Amino acid sequence: MKINSLDVEAAAERIAGLVVRTPLVAARIVGRRVWLKCECLQTGGAFKLRGATNRLMLLDKDERARGVVAFSSGNHAQGVAIAARRLGIAATIVMPADAPRLKIDGTRAEGAEIIFYDRRTENREAIAARLAAETGATVVPSFDDQHVVAGQGTVGLEILEQLDEAGAPPPPSIAIPVGGGGLASGIALACPDARIIGAEPEGWDDMARSLAGGAIVPVAAGAPPTLCDALQTPRVSPITFAILRERGAKVVAVSDEEVTAAVRWAFSEHRLVVEPGGAAALAALLAGNVDVDEGMVVVLSGGNVDPALHARLVGYATAVRYSPGSTWTGLDRSTACVNSSSSAARVCNSAARALGSASARLVEASSKVSSIIAMHGRIVTSIRSNASSRRACCSSRVMGWVWHNLS
């Protein structure tokens, strides 16, 4: 069965109330108005909850009893874990051993069991298939599934609704980060009149090369490290490839330096915490890799970034190369100061450390605020039908929690 826009509309009805209608924020890039679709503010920190919820809600009673298995570097893992917990389904997630600690902890906190693998030497799909065969669990791919793609496409429906509510015309183009292509292909179905632009990390640009060659090609062996851990997909799927090829999507590559600049811009201009992979499409615009259309939309697909890494990116890091779980290499301002006099170097190093510490504290506070907002939303949903006195009691508890955690 070929997926179409009707599947996206059905997914939107199915998951209504279970995902956040994320903000659409006006911004300006090279003097033109653009819109930022902030999926970095979605429950679980990324758009992935949409597709995971849609897929799991379609499981029958027996399938739910046998559980689910997913493979992910982090964002899909958390999306599946959250959806599974809500539905009372056991979830096992196959994750790379070098996944960001924040994503590992977030997935585990939702009650999922984690199986680690080496992304360089092991095949995550094969591991998931073996686990499913042993337990009878259902495999929930991150993008190679029609129901997952349909769920991700609800981002596009929201974009159209929000622009209409703002009195703005439909977007001429939408720029989207691309890993396996689930989000981009889903939005392509939901927004048939918009030009689709994708952005991948350098060296992991298999969708761009596949579209250019007319057939799916995997990421080359020995692909370089990248800040964009969320977009390290070794091979796109026939589903996503076919949709983006049919739509004539353009996909470009972005460097770590360009992604760093985008993460910094999002924070400095709009106080948005965006992970590197989630900022890939924004990076393509800011770097001039694609034309900026008046009224276009840029999707910020995720915000699950380690606070220390984010502090480095927005605070005082410049050209950097980073692998999750490893130490930093490259050039930052404190290192550059070593080439000056020793006294100037000491002053610069002290300033850099102070700025990095301040940025880390700010990011931590921002994460707490996001948690508070999410918690408040869950409480409001759960007590909406109750008496006003009970709402007041719960609200006072929320405020007490806020005061305790921010003081």
Q: What pLDDT does 365 receive?
A: 52
- pLDDT for 120 equals 84
* CA separation for the pair 271, 355 (Å, rounded): 16
d(CA 84, CA 108): 12
Which single residue is written with the structure tokens 């599934």?
145
Q: What confidence tens digit (pLDDT) does each residue in 199-255 have? A: 999 999 999 999 999 999 999 989 999 999 999 999 999 999 999 999 999 999 999
**What pTM does this model have?**
0.77
Q: What are phi and psi of 260, to 5 degrees?
A: -60, -45
* Better-scored residue on pLDDT, 19 or 2: 19
The two tokens of residue 195 are: 């030009």
Helix (H) or strand (E) holding 299: strand 297-300
Give pLDDT tens digits for 317-340. Answer: 443 333 344 333 332 322 222 223
The 3-state DSSP composition of the chain as helix, strand, coil percent (nearest 5) reads: 55, 15, 30
pLDDT digits (tens, 9 = 90+) for 36-58: 999 999 999 999 999 999 999 99
> What does the pLDDT read at residue 339?
29
183 vs 119: CA distance, rounded Å: 22
The answer to whether residue 148 scores a pLDDT higher than 70 is yes
CA distance 63 to 148: 17
Token pair of 405 as six digits: 């955690």
CA distance 174 to 167: 18
Query: CA 196 to CA 180: how far, in whole Å?
Result: 15
- Return d(Cα 10, Cα 189) in angstroms, integer: 13
Question: What sign does the CA torsion over 366, 368, 374, 376 have?
Answer: negative
Contact of 100 with 229, CB cutoff 8 Å: yes
* Tens-digit pLDDT profile for residues 161-198: 999 999 999 999 999 999 999 999 999 999 999 999 99
Find the length of the chain. 407
Task: Please state the φ and ψ torsions of residue 291, each to the nearest 5 degrees.
Answer: -70, 145
Cα distances from 368 to residues 307, 365, 406, in angstroms, run: 11, 5, 8
Domains of the chain: 5-46+148-304 (3.40.50.1100), 49-143 (3.40.50.1100), 328-406 (no CATH)
Distance CA 252, CA 284 (A): 7
Average pLDDT, the chain: 83
CA neighbor of 324 nearest in space, from 190, 180, 225, 221:
225
Q: State pLDDT tens for residues 98-138.
A: 988 989 999 999 999 999 999 888 989 999 999 999 999 99
Region label for 115, one of left (φ > 0), alpha (ψ between -120 and 50) or beta (otherwise): beta
